[in-house]
Amino acid sequence: MIIRAKNLGFCFGVKRSLAFTEKNYPEPIYTFGELIHNSRIVESLKNKGIVAIDDISEADGGTVIIRSHGAPVEVLGLAKERGLNVVDATCPFVTKIRNIVAEKYAEGYKIAIFGMANHPEVVGINSICDYTAFVFDETFPEELYEESKVCIVAQTTSSAEKFKNIINKIEKDRLKTVEIFDTICYTTKERQAEAEELSKKCDVILVIGDSNSSNTRKLKYICERNCKTFLVKSANDLKNIQIKVGEKIGIVAGASTPTESITEVIHYMESNYTDAKNEEFLQAVDAVETNGKLVLREGKRMKVKVTYADEKGITVNFGMKIDGRISAEEATLDGSYNPADYPQGTELDVILLSAKAEDGVYPFSKKQVDKIKEGDKVVDSIRNGEEFALVVDRDTKGGLLGKIGTYTVFIPASQIKERYIHDLKPYIGKTLRLTCLEIDDAKRRIVASQKVILEAERKEKEEIFWTNVVPGVVVSGKVKSISKFGAFVSVDGVDCLVHITDISWTKFKSIEDILKVGKKYEFAVLKADREKGKVSLGYKQLQKHPFDVAIENHPVGSTFVGKITSLMPFGAFVEVEPGVEGLVHVSEASNTYVKNINDIFKVGDEIEVKVLAVDSSEKKITLSAKACLPEVPEEAHKTERKDKTRAPKKNDVQKEEAEWSENAGNNPFADLLKDIEVKK
C-alpha cells in the first residue's frame, strides 16, 4: 500500500522564483547561486542558457536573477555597480525576515538567527546586520543572556519542533528584552507535521528530493525517528533499496522537488510494489455472451479487426455475420484520418454507437475510445496531486460525479468549497478545479477535492497579505459596508476597518458623503494584528490636512476676507478654510486702541485680514485686521494716547483703597511711588 503526502511538489517561493526564469531579459542570464537546491532543475536551467554563478564578477553583462534564498547586500550593490539587470526572485517570506532584522538592528537589538550559518538564506539575512548576528541551530548562545535587547528570527526551512523547544526555554529563562519572530514558512510547518504523522503510520518512508536541500533533509530527520526512511533523488535510487511486498509505504517530498521526480518515483513504486503490476487495461464494458450468442448494446466497448479501409472509413469484423463500419469522422481524435494507417488484420479498440445495423453495417467509433485513453493519460498525470479541470456530469448522494477516461471522479459535497455545500444542482455542467485525494485503479474510481486547492490558495494569500500589510503601507480596498463607527473595507479578501475618526480631517454629517459602498479607494495601514486578524486603516492620513491646504492658499503676507467664528477677550478667531481658524489678536484688531474686542467685532462678521505668521508644528495662523486698514494720522494717535486708560492689573485691585484716582495708573510719577507704603 502506498500513501502519498498531500503536500508534494514546489512551494510558493520556488514556483515564484522559477516563474522569473520564463520571462525575457537582456542576455546572458545568470542566477546568483543555484536558483533552488535541486540538481535536476539547475541542469534544466543550464540547458536553457541560464547559468548559476557564485561570484558576481563572473557575470559578463546581461541579467542576474537573485535566487529565492536572497543574496547578501554587498552582492546586490556590486551587481548594480557593474550595470547588471538585477531581477530579485527572493521569496517574500525571506524578505519579511530581512525587513525585521533591518528594523531591529537599527533600533540597537542584537540579532540571533535560528538556522544553518552557511545556508545562503541565513548568509543573506546576516548581511543585513553587518554579519554581527549570532547564528545557532541547537543551543541558544549563552552570551546573549547578557544583552539588554535581543531579536530572534528563524530560517524559513528550519525545524519547527526544535525552534519551539528553544523558544520555550528562552521564555522560561526570561531574557531582559527579547523579541521573537516565528518566521518558519507555513508550508515548511505543514510538510513537517504531515511527515511526522505519516511516518508513524507507515513501515517505510521515501523522502524525494536533493540531499543539499535543507527542508528535504529535515523531512528525512523527522521521518527516520519513526520508521525506515530513505532519501531518493529519482527512481534510479530505488533500485538499491530493499522493500518488502506488503509493507505500507509513505511518500513525502521537499519544497524544491520537481514534479517529474515525484511522478517517476510514484510510478516505479506502484509498478513494483502494488497489484497494479499485474493489472491489464480494463474495457469500459466487456463483451458478454449469452447462450453462446454475442449480445450487442449501445456503448459497448469491443475489439474488432480491420477488413479493409478506404477514404470513407474502415470496415471491420467482430465475429458477427454483419460487418461493422468506422466512418472517417469517427476514426481519429484529431481528424487526421489516413486509410493507409489501417492495413487488413489490424486490431482496433472501438465503441458500438448503435445496437441496430445502419445501411447493413453496425456503426462503431474509434475516436471515442481514443478520447477515453487520453483521459486515462490525464489520470497518470494527476497521481501526484497536480491540479486538473473537470466538467461535472451529475450529482449523486453526497457529492458530484464526472468522468476522466475510464475513471469516474467523485467530489464529496464537503470537498467542493471550504464550507459544506447542500445544494449540488447549480454545479452540474460547471468546471471545477480539482486535486486527487485517492485513486482506485481496480474500480476505476477517483476521489477528488476542490476544497484543498482553495484552502491552499487562501493560506498563500493570507501569508502574503500579512507579510506585506504592515503599518505605513498604502493599500487599495473596496468599501463593503458602513456602520455607525466606521467603514468596513475588503483588502485582498481580508476585511479591514476604517474607524470614523480616521475618515476625514474635518467634520462631516455622514460617512457615505466621503466613502461610497462598492467603490475602491487607497488607504494607509495604521495597525495590523495577525493573531487577532484585525487591520486598522486610515483614509484621512492620505489626504492633505486642512491646515496645509489653508497655508498653501493663504501664504504669509497674503490677504483674504474671512468670517469671525468666535470672540475671546484676547482677540477674534477667523475662518481661514473650512475647519481651520486663525487668530486676530486684540492688538491687531484695529489701528486705534481697542479696550473691548466686542466693541468692534461680532460673530459672523466678515473682515479682511492679512496673514502675519504660520506655526506649522503648533498648527497656528496669526492674522491681522489692522494691517488691512488705512493708516491713522499722527494727531489721532496723540489724542488716543491721551484718552487711553491702562487695563487694570491684579495689583491695582489690591490698591482700590489707595489715595489715587483711576487715571493715576497713566501717571509716570505715580508708577514710581506705587510700591511705597502710604501712611494714613
Long-range contacts of 71-74 (CB under 8 A, 24+ apart): 71/32, 71/33, 71/120, 71/124, 72/123, 72/124, 72/126, 72/127, 73/124, 73/127, 73/128, 74/127
Element spanning 216, H or E: helix 214-223
Q: Are residues 71 and 98 in the same domain?
A: no
Q: Are residues 176 and 102 in the same domain?
A: yes
288 within a domain of the structure (yes/no): no
C-alpha cell at 433: 478545479
**Cross-strand partners of 229:** 205
Question: Amino acid letter at 169?
Answer: K
Active site residue 197: no
Active-site residue, selected from the candidate residues 121, 330, 463, 577: 121
Q: Are residues 363 and 225 in the same domain?
A: no
Q: Are residues 310 and 432 in the same domain?
A: no
Q: Return the residue matching grid coordinates 554587498.
A: 74
Q: Which of 1, 449, 6, 439 is nearest to 201 (CA)?
A: 1
The phi, psi pair for 307, rounded to 5°, reads -90, -50
Q: What is the pLDDT of residue 536?
A: 95
C-alpha cell at 444: 476505476
CB 9 within 8 A of CB 253: yes
Q: Are residues 216 and 83 in the same domain?
A: yes
Among 426, 455, 484, the domain boundary falls at 455
CATH code assigned at 3: 3.40.50.11270
Q: What pTM does this model have?
A: 0.43
460 within a domain of the structure (yes/no): no
CB 408 within 8 A of CB 399: no
Strands 534-538 and 571-577: unpaired
C-alpha 87: how far from chain center: 20
CB 274 within 8 A of CB 247: no
Q: Are residues 83 and 107 in the same domain?
A: no
CB 76 within 8 A of CB 33: no
List, for the chain, all residue ranges whose pLDDT scores fall below the cut of 50: 275-293, 644-645, 649-674, 676-680
**Cross-strand partners of 620:** 615
Q: Return the residue matching grid coordinates 521569496.
A: 91
Quick one: 189 exposed, middle or buried, by C-beta within 10 A (0-12, 13-18, 19+)?
A: middle
Q: Are residues 678 and 657 in the same domain?
A: yes
Q: Are residues 67 and 108 in the same domain?
A: no
CB 603 within 8 A of CB 565: yes
C-alpha cell at 193: 507535521
CB 254 within 8 A of CB 211: no
Residue 30 CB neighbours (<10 A): 22
d(CA 211, CA 231): 7
Q: Which of 676, 642, 641 is nearest to 659 (CA)?
A: 676
d(CA 52, CA 32): 6
271 within a domain of the structure (yes/no): yes
Count of alpha carbons within 13 Å of 296, Cβ hemisphere only? Answer: 15
d(CA 25, CA 621): 55
d(CA 574, CA 584): 7
C-alpha cell at 396: 449523486
Among 372, 390, 411, the domain boundary falls at 372
Element spanning 640, H or E: helix 634-643
CA distances from 62 to 27, 29, 546 (A): 5, 6, 50
d(CA 216, CA 250): 15
CATH code assigned at 171: 3.40.1010.20
Question: Amino acid letter at 557?
Answer: G
Q: Which of 135, 139, 99 is nearest to 119 (CA)?
A: 135
CATH code assigned at 593: 2.40.50.140
Give residue 389's domain range.
382-455
CB 253 within 8 A of CB 6: no
Q: Are residues 473 and 536 in the same domain?
A: yes
Q: Are residues 678 and 561 in the same domain?
A: no
R_g over Cα of the chain = 41
Q: Which of 649, 568, 557 is nearest to 611 (CA)?
A: 557
99 within a domain of the structure (yes/no): yes
234 within a domain of the structure (yes/no): yes
d(CA 436, CA 379): 9
Quick one: 661 exposed, middle or buried, by C-beta within 10 A (0-12, 13-18, 19+)?
A: exposed
Q: Are residues 507 and 432 in the same domain?
A: no
Among 160, 184, 208, the domain boundary falls at 184
Residue 651 CB neighbours (<10 A): 9
Q: What is the pLDDT of residue 411?
A: 92
Q: Are residues 129 and 51 in the same domain?
A: no
Count up the domains in the chain and report the number.
7
C-alpha cell at 646: 491702562
286 within a domain of the structure (yes/no): no
CB 285 within 8 A of CB 300: yes
